Amino acid sequence: MILMQRILIAALLVPAIGAFAQEPAAPLTRPDLPMASELQNQASTPNLLEWLFGSAVPEATLTPEERAIISDAIFQNWDKSDLKQIENFGQYVVRVVVQIGEDGRVESVSPHTPSAPLGAYAIAYQAALSAVMTTDENGGIPLPMDKFPVGVTLVLRFDPSSGEIRLS
């Protein structure tokens, strides 16, 4: 009964969530990567599915050394050149949610904070997305896979002022 109520609520909420979505001010285009606006609807869907059915993918529990290895691997692919052209670029910190499957490959990347990146935040998000996807294409994110046999969810914080990528 509760599951049926949740499904009914979900059916009513998903169209409403999409109605309030805004498009990024100045989208960047890279044909092999989805735009922030395309991922905006995906960002709310996993939370809704987790609410309906429970979470099947654990959040990462990593040692400081494992966190540093992951951050360094992604940092090598983080191109901030477009972001550095924006005045006060250091204030455009973004957090992204990265779903990694049981095969160790990135399944999805979606904005976390801000949830709908616009303007300069869209540029910062695009740089973060590109860093994650390029790392995945170049051999994957170096996870200790024995810890995550069903995959894992990472939340990464990209801070252009310090140049750091941190796992939240």
Encode pLDDT of 123-158 as tens digits: 999 999 999 999 999 999 998 868 888 889 999 999
pTM attached to this predicted model = 0.66
**H helix and E strand count, the chain:** 5, 4
Reduced to 3 states (helix: H, G, I; strand: E, B; else coil), residue 72 is: helix
Per-residue confidence (pLDDT) for residue 104, from 0 to 100: 83
Distance, CA of 122 to CA of 96 (rounded, Å): 12
Does CATH place domain 2-167 in 3.30.1150?
yes
